[in-house]
Structure 1
């Protein structure tokens, strides 16, 4: 694991990222926090394009839930521009 991924993630708390892991998975989200083993992401906000449905979307908000990605599994990290989401 390059130390630079840890440093990049620490500086990017609160920013939208796309993380590619060694097994080929792609994770997109907002960096919530970073520790010495994992980077924790919140899901990106969902766009509402109008139409019918429940106004709150799926679930009851993110409520602190997110997911973690092991720093050692990161193969690539890219910060996403605001217009992406």
Structure 2
């Protein structure tokens, strides 16, 4: 599949829970937060981890470097029964 194909699929499913498998065998599960021309950014499923203690929560989960669209091997939309 081409990068353009995965870009369109990811963009259509913003806000949905997905599972993305990359060419190196890693599996990423999360809710699509944002899609750029070359990356997809996921919000992890489940509750955020608390670092413990008052005032150590930070400003949310934060989002990493994202998953390169050219590195995606498979893409699946998850149902709500997965949660």
Range of TM-score over shorter length: 0.7 to 0.9
Q: Are 2:76 and 1:81 aligned?
A: no
Instruction: Give the TM-score, by structure 1 length.
Output: 0.79
Q: Which runs of 4+ in 1 moved over 6 A?
A: none
Deviations 1:27-80 (A, max 9, x none): 00000000001000001124xxxxxxxxx8534377151231000100000000
Q: Could you tell me how far apart the structure 2 residues matched to 1:14 and 1:20 are?
A: 18
Which structure 1 residue ranges, 5 or more long, are not aligned? 47-55
User: Residue 58 of structure 1 is aligned with which of 50, 56, 70?
Assistant: 50
8 Å CA contact 1:16–1:30 kept in 2: the answer is: yes
Task: Rate the CA distance shift 1:43–1:62 in 2: closer, same or farther, 3 A.
Answer: farther
RMSD: 2.0
Task: Rate the CA distance shift 1:8–1:45 in 2: closer, same or farther, 3 A.
Answer: same
Q: Name the count of aligned residue pairs.
A: 76
Tell me what 1:16 maps to. Answer: 17
8 Å CA contact 1:43–1:66 kept in 2: the answer is: no
Instruction: Give the TM-score, by structure 2 length.
Output: 0.80
Q: Could you tell me how far apart the structure 2 residues matched to 1:61 and 1:76 are?
A: 33
